[in-house]
Chains A and B, each alone.
Chain A
Amino acid sequence: MIVRLVQRIAILLASLVVSSMLVFAFMAVLPGDPARVALGTSASDSAVAQLREQFGLDQPLVVQYLHWVQGLVTFDPGNSYVSHAQIGPQIADRLQVTLWLVGTGMVLACILAIPMGILMAVRHRRPSGLILSALSQVGVAVPAFLAGILLITVFAVGLGWLPANGWTPPAEDPALFLKQLVLPALSLGMVQAAMLTRYVRSAVLDVLREDYLRTARAKGLRPTQALLRHGLRNAAVPVVTVLGLHLATLLVGAVVIERVFVIPGLGSLLLDSVSNRDLIVVQDVVMIIAMAVLLVNFLVDLVYLVIDPRLRVGAS
């Protein structure tokens, strides 16, 4: 167990180093001088040179890389070339917004998808199961932005129960924060739930065919009890995998929802930075996303270890 854990942590650290190198190298080989790009074509050569010196762009690449990594590790990635604003607080702010949105959306998705998926699997031969199955199929086909627009049309425009868009930090006005969170989180959650439901269903169906579930019933457990006590934990492995993948992609993937609901999230920051040619911010955001993906995968691996004792054996 400990061996496995140390292994995983080592893999995580190595992946972080490699991905930082990749991100840096990719940005470095992009044609164009960031300083020139930031100042525009009309800027004088001396102004460009001054900016290059100011941001250390005249240093060798290795020094630039180490400087950048140092900034990331100390949570002080420096200032934007374009707006000259501090990047750290900006990213922290945006990340927080996205985490609230995606976190709430995923929790909603799980609350909807896990019981639905189980029900669909248990009733896979009965009409109720088939109807749920068809509904989830429709759900998968609906893009998140359409779900968002529909929700806005009904609950914001039609019924007027909730605000159509906007974002308020929870510390500022908790009630407004919650009101504004409901619709975007719901549209994200519903679409995710539709997909997740199908994974839960197939995982539970697989488990229902397992011999140990028959053993559980031969012991005197009713079918539902047998599934709850012996099946769910075994069905969790594939579901956790999918959950991890979705969670990681949603950090930027939520950008569509962010646009629909005018929410200043991380995905929006990335898009804005790209259109502003704010290359250092792009580089930092991409790195944050890479870190998040790696971290989620690491956590998923840890969850595997908790779920399945067969994986706890240290590799030889």
Chain B
Amino acid sequence: MTPVPDTAPASGQGSPDDVLSVRNLDVTVGGRTLVEDVDFTIRAGERVGLIGESGSGKSLTALSVMGLLPEGLRATGSVRLAGVGHDLVGADEARMSRVRGKEIAMVFQEPMTALNPTMKVGRQIAEVLLIHRTRPDRASARAAAVELLAQVGLPDPATAADAYPHQFSGGQRQRVVLAIALANDPALLVCDEPTTALDVTVQARVLDLIVRGVQDRRSAMLFITHDLAVVATACERVMVMYGGRLVESGPVQEVFTRPRHRYTQGLIGASDLTAVDDRGRLVTIGGSVPPAGQFPAGCVFRNRCTQATEACATRPDWISTGPDSGYACFHPVPESGAPGTGTPAIQEAGRG
């Protein structure tokens, strides 16, 4: 790919509908496997949630897609993006830098530190347009930056463009980060817990902006969170991750009302703040997430699962239940007797 200035958001017309296809993705450090055999596809314009407790490999999966894994971590497998002629796994910096910020963009968790404190935000936004030459010169990039700031709902965008990050609140900074991410109309927006660090009152508004932003651009979205309610509002499909593996996936409505994997069932149970156990305490998943690389062999959830048997010592196969849905469990929740309590209300409780 050469950095030709083109106006189309993504030149992904070649392959049918898939924007992102991840195949057999592993992330390892030293001898330990942190993410194992992750396989999924995201279609154009589709909004997909990736949920799971902290330490289950969600962020590493996202960073592998971006090619921004921390030093020392290695990804293997295949990550293909529509319109990009090469595999993103193992691609060199020169090629990846043409994809990042243009075809895929990312919103990070911590807005307070994600922006350069010594550069005016207008310039930080304009930069992403100039790097990829989607605007011919500084003046037009600056005008576009002001327009983007208006789109993400910052009052008085022209003045805001000349301000430094420390002059904004966390929510406003996340809007700026979002403006940077959406600047080049990416085919895929990756969001890594973008609302977690924000005040509850601000979360909903920022989430709404993100969803509107990707809808307006017909961008696909991979949205990482441990907040099931956020997934229910923002996403159409959800993937559940635990111990570095995908354990269940399907349309949000289906997974949240009729979970099949015991881990998903536990997550949903734990997010129900009206349900209490015999002793009047909120329901949680027993035990805690093991340290990275120390999950049990076989089914990664078996040491915390109430239904685990001998059979779980071998790795459960992926059981497909539809084009986009399936689970990996030997003792799934029976299809009829799901204790799913509908859309979970508030944030997941009892995280490890």
Contact = CB atoms under 8 A, between A and B. Distances in A.
A158 interface: no
A211 B108 contact: yes
B118 A307 contact: yes
B320 interface: no
The secondary-structure label for the interface of chain A is helix
A309 B128 contact: no
How many A residues are at the interface, by size bracket?
A: 20 to 34
B180 A219 contact: yes
21 contacts: A210-B113, A211-B114, A212-B113, A212-B116, A212-B117, A214-B114, A215-B108, A215-B180, A216-B116, A217-B68, A218-B66, A218-B68, A218-B100, A218-B106, A221-B97, A222-B93, A222-B97, A230-B119, A308-B118, A310-B117, A310-B164
A125 interface: yes
B114 A233 contact: no
B8 interface: no
A212 B115 contact: yes
Contacts of B115: 212, 215
B276 to A, nearest CB: 39
B132 interface: yes
A222 B66 CA distance: 13
Interface of A: 125, 210-212, 214-223, 229-230, 233-234, 307-310
Nearest to A216: B116
A308 B108 contact: no
Given A214-B108, A308-B118, A219 B128 contact: yes
Most chain B CB inside 10 Å of its own CB: which residue of A212, A217, A220, A223: A220
B162 to A, nearest CB: 11
Contact of A219 (B127, B164, B166): B127
Instruction: Please provide the 6 A-B residue pairs with the shortest distance between their CB atoms, ordered closest to farther.
Output: A220-B101, A219-B101, A211-B113, A309-B164, A219-B128, A212-B116
A220 B118 contact: no
A308 B93 contact: no
B335 interface: no
B77 to A, nearest CB: 21
B119 A215 contact: no
Interface string B313-344: 00000000000000000000000000000000
A125 B99 CA distance: 27
B148 to A, nearest CB: 13
Nearest to B112: A211
Contacts of A307: 118
Given A218-B68, A310-B166, 6 more contacts: A210-B113, A212-B116, A214-B114, A215-B177, A220-B132, A233-B118
A312 to B, nearest CB: 9
B4 interface: no
A308 to B, nearest CB: 6
Interface string B25-55: 0000000000000000000000000000000
A8 B117 CA distance: 23
A218 B101 contact: yes
A60 B127 CA distance: 67
Contacts of B245: none
B97 A220 contact: yes
A221 B131 contact: yes
B147 interface: no
B116 A230 contact: yes
Interface in B66-94: 66, 68, 71, 93-94
A287 B177 CA distance: 51
A220 B100 contact: yes
Contacts of B105: 218-219
